[in-house]
Amino acid sequence: MLTTPQESAPLCEAADPDVRPSGIVLPANACDCHAHVFGPVEKYPYVDHRTYTPPDASFADYQKMLSTLGLERGVIVQPSVLGTDNRATLDAVAAGGDQYRAVVVVNEDVSAQELQVMYDAGARGARVNLLFRSNFQVDNLRTLAKKLADANMHLQLLIDVSQFSDLKTTLADLPVDLVFDHMGHMPTTESQNHPGFQDLLALVSEGKAWAKLSGSYRFTQESAAPYQDVTAVAQSLINANPERMVWASDWPHPHIPVAMPNDGDLLDMLSLWAPNAPVRNRILVDNPTQLYGF
C-alpha cells in the first residue's frame, strides 16, 4: 500500500484549525453524522488506487472541532482511501465511547460474523461508493443489503442521483434503510425535476431513505459558504420528510473543489435550510438517535 502522494492522488488541503463558533444554539446530544479520520499513515496506510492523499486528521482534532461547535455526538465514516481496512474508523469510535458511531466499508462477500464484530464495535451502517466504483453491480448491492439488514445495519450510498433515471425502481425493494450522502450529490446545474432527484425525494418522503445535509461544496457552483444555490436542494429534502434528515460536517473536507470552509460557517447554514428550531433539533438529535441507535 502506498502512503505518499502520487500524481493521480494529490495531497489535500487540511481542515481549518481555527473553527469559529456557530451562531446556532445547539440542543444537548446534537450529532455530526459524517466525518472522517486519517492517519498516521504508518499505522493506517492508504490504498494504492485512490483519488487523493489526505493529511493526518486525528480523532483528537475532530473532537476539538465538535467541542468548539457544541456538538456532543459524531459518526465516523470510512473514507475511500482506506479501502476495507476499517481499523482507523473503529479505533476512533472505541476511543470516543458511546457518543460515537461508525459507518464501515465492506465487500459484498463479508460474513455475518464479521458484520457482528463491527456492529459490536459501533458500526451501524456500511458505505458503498458508486461515484468511484463503477464495477459495483446491482446484484452486488442486493447481496450486501440482505446481509446488512440481517445485521441491523443500514446501507449508505455515495452516489450522484442525476446519473440514474430509475433510482427508485432499483433501490425501493432493498430490505434495508438507505442513507444518501451529501443530499444525493447532484450538481446544482441540474434541475430538481431530474428523475433521479425526484426519485430521491420519493424515497425520502416514503421513509425508505435518509439524506445527509452535508457536502454542499461538492455539488455547488459557488466558491464559498453559504453556497446559496444549495439552499433550495436542502429545503426540498427537508420538506419531503424532516424525520429522515440528518446534518453532517464532512470534516476534514477531503478532496474538495473549492476553498477550505470553516466548520462554524457550515453549521450556520443549517439555520438557512431549517429556520424552525424544532425541525433543526429533530435533524440534530432525534433523527441521529434513531438512525444510529444512540
Q: What share of the chain is helix, strand, coil (3-state, %, to 5)?
A: 40, 15, 45
Q: What is the C-alpha to C-alpha distance for residues 210 and 291, in angstroms, rounded to an integer?
A: 9
* Farthest-apart Cα atoms in the chain, separation: 48
Q: How far is CA 121 from CA 57, 61, 89, 96, 102, in A?
A: 21, 21, 10, 11, 8
Chain centroid to CA 156: 8
Catalytic residue among 250, 265, 268, 286: 250
Q: 22 and 268 in contact (C-beta within 8 Å)? A: yes
Residue linked to cell 457536502: 215
Rounded distance between C-alpha atoms, residue 283 and residue 244, angstroms: 8
Q: How far is CA 72 from the centre of its chain?
A: 17
Distance of CA 65 to the CA centre of its chain: 17
Instruction: Round to whole Å and give the CA distance between 82 and 251.
Output: 16
How buried is 128 (Cβ within 10 angstroms: 0-12 exposed, 13-18 middle, 19+ buried)?
buried
Residue 177 falls in the annotated catalytic set: no
Which segments of the chain does DSSP mark as H helices, in order?
A: 59-69, 87-96, 112-120, 138-150, 167-171, 195-205, 231-240, 263-273, 277-281, 287-292
DSSP assignment letter at 152: T
Q: What is the rounded distance in angstroms from the CA atom of residue 9 to the CA atom of residue 186?
A: 23
Question: Measured between alpha carbons, how far is 76 from 99 in angstroms, rounded to an integer?
Answer: 11
| Catalytic sites, residue numbers | 250
